[in-house]
Amino acid sequence: MPQNLQLAITAFGGPETLKLQHTDIPEPQDGQVLIKVAFAGVNPVDAKTRAGLGWGAEKIKDILPWVPGFDVAGVVVQDSTRFKAGDRVAGRIVEGGGYGQYLCASADVLSRIPDGVSFEAAASLPVAGLTAWQALELAELKAGEKVLILAGAGGVGHFAIQLAKAQGASVYASCSAANIDFVNGLGATALDYAVSPLEAQVNDVDVLIDLVGGDVGEAALKSVAKNGRVVTVPTITADRIIAAAKPLGIDVKGMLVVPKPEQMDTLLTLVQEGKVRVEIAKTYPLEDGVQAHVDIQTGRTRGKLLLEMPE
């Protein structure tokens, strides 16, 4: 019987709590598709969950070991009602499980990967691409408005810049000195957060997309116009940002990304047409997943980190 090699969170704590395990290949239930995973995305939420923080950790605390991974791209193993064996698919998997060779996923969260789009690019989109799309949608960004995106060089940030630009917005994005050229190249005005406070570099923005939260997210409120709109993505500090914005007359919404295959289809098409660029910082073999977690925790990675499954 072939086995399913996975990387699991065995206890809450540091990256070293991730351990390889062998399990049986899962059997798809009604409405599910068995996928042989090619690549899985590594996201900040994976590291937070592993550390025991946030809603994700709360959900899994009694069922460890648990396999993370909400972004996957791979091949359908057997025919189902919606997909045929051999179809290339990608999607946002709410239950996790992406850090493994095989996975069962609900057919209605999956998108076909178009010709000419790599598994790597497709695996980069479900969490980061959909988060960027849904954050801009929640902010009701309109053409001609000024938007500030925090952490513009990161996974979500680099997609948010491109999508906001495509909507006709005037885009500003914070980043480190090392990423100035990269962020400018995506169509934003790059702001080096180490040079001076953001409010000294840009103000009266209509929309703030806060991808950092905490002290940084709160300080960025000073750049927002009165009656401006803010979407804060890190759930752990959302209440704090909402509270800090109230006396300033600024509306803040927190959000949680949800699977939307029709949005995912559009993102895949934009990548296929060369209208959205996917930046992949590094790809690690599954057995080096601990290092991927060490790296994502720095908050300094450019674009996306991926895990490649062994054959």
Length of the chain equals 311
Domains of the chain: 3-127+259-308 (3.90.180.10), 128-254 (3.40.50.720)
Determine contact, residues 267/125, Cβ cutoff 8 Å: yes
Triad 145, 149, 151: Cα angle to 5°: 170
**What are the percentages of helix, strand and coil residues in the chain, rounded to 5?**
35, 30, 35
Beta strands 3-9 and 18-24 are: antiparallel
Q: State how far the Cα of 265 lies from the Cα of 215, in Å rounded to an integer.
A: 35
For the chain, the C-alpha Rg in angstroms (whole number) is 19
Q: What is the CA angle 262-280-3, rounded to 5? A: 80
Phi, psi of 126 (to 5 degrees): -60, -45
Tokens 């000294």 -> residue = 200
Q: What angle do CA 213, 217, 223 make, to 5 degrees?
A: 160
Could you read off the pLDDT tens digit of each residue along the chain, which spans 311 residues? Answer: 679 999 999 999 999 999 999 999 999 999 999 999 999 999 999 999 999 998 889 999 999 999 999 999 999 999 998 999 999 999 999 999 999 999 999 999 999 999 999 999 999 999 999 999 999 999 999 999 999 999 999 999 999 999 999 999 999 999 999 999 999 999 999 999 999 999 999 999 999 999 999 999 999 999 999 999 999 999 899 999 999 999 999 999 999 999 999 999 999 999 999 999 999 999 999 999 999 999 999 888 899 999 999 98
C-alpha distance from residue 203 to each of 147, 199, 224, 248 (Å): 10, 6, 6, 14
